[in-house]
Amino acid sequence: MRSTPLQTAVKKGSVECIQVLLDNDVDVDCPDLLQATALHNALMNCETPAMRPRIVAMLLTFGADVEAVDCEGTASGEPA
């Protein structure tokens, strides 16, 4: 599955990369091939769980859609 640069940074828990991307107007809701957004990945696939609350807060601050639905019908705002 192809991820966007933001999704990759979210999965890796790279707060610095996430901030650079967000500050440069990346599409926070751009989906991957499975229709998952960065927020989906923050909640379900983040490799650094301790960073999850901070990453989720960053994404929400930049307007992440909590109602975006992936190919499995899971809304991005639903806990894993």
Domains of the chain: 5-61 (1.25.40.20)
Q: How far is CA 69 from CA 9, 35, 45, in A?
A: 20, 7, 16
Digits of tens for pLDDT over the chain (80 positions)?
Answer: 588 999 999 999 999 999 999 999 999 999 998 899 999 999 988 999 999 999 999 999 999 999 999 888 888 876 55
Residue labelled with tokens 């909590």: 66
The alpha carbon torsion through 45, 49, 52, 53 (nearest 10 deg) reads 150
pTM here is 0.91
